Amino acid sequence: MTREANLLKKIEQGDLTYLDELIACYYPDIFRYCLWHTENRQTAEDAAQETFLRFVRYFDRMAYRNKVKAYLYKIAANVCIDMRTKRRSEELPENLSMRERGYEEAEDEADFLRLVRNLPQHQQELVILRFGQDLTLRECAQVTGLPLRTVQSRLRSALKKIERQLRKGGKENEYE
């Protein structure tokens, strides 16, 4: 979007109020994305902040001005992976659980969301980006680096899988 290109140009020239504007624009979505991946509010806030910090640090390197959104999600994905790896190495096995969020919804998490969580990683990620974060197919392709066709076919497989599970009565799967 040219609006973004304009924002970037202004930031480059040193006007940091536009940086605030850029962050404020994307923060809620990036935070939600991080929340899904980290399942912990504090960690999600840290992850979101780290995402924007990296964005600023790599500012000079951005070769593509009109793909800010995809770029931010790419960084966020990496940040979440790094945080998961770090957490895994710091945690004791007994505490390892998917329910760390600390608010009630965790226990009553709709079967539906649970079905999405049980999807294999490569499908789950696309489902989240497409339906949770409302990215276009093209943007999904940019974020994951996959060809458009692969994105479409994986989404189709994911939807089929969810449908099948729902038909079975939406029963819980064993965690993989």
From candidates 83, 116, 119, 135, binder to other proteins by CB under 8 A: 116
Residues 70-89 that bind other proteins (CB under 8 A): 71, 74-75, 77-78
**8 contacts other proteins (rule: CB under 8 A):** no
Residues 31-60 that bind other proteins (CB under 8 A): 31-32, 35-36, 41, 44-45, 48-49, 52-60
Q: Cβ-count burial of 14 within 10 angstroms (0-12 exposed, 13-18 middle, 19+ buried)?
A: exposed
**104 contacts other proteins (rule: CB under 8 A):** no
CA distances (Å), 120 to each of 10, 39, 125, 128, 161, in order?
Answer: 41, 17, 9, 12, 10
Q: Using the structure block, give the residue that is written with the tokens 């409302």.
A: 134
Q: For residues 16 and 61, what is the distance between their CA atoms, to the nearest angstrom?
A: 18
Binding site for other proteins (CB under 8 A): 11, 16, 19-20, 23-24, 27-28, 31-32, 35-36, 41, 44-45, 48-49, 52-64, 71, 74-75, 77-78, 110, 112-113, 116, 127-128, 131-134, 145, 159, 162-163
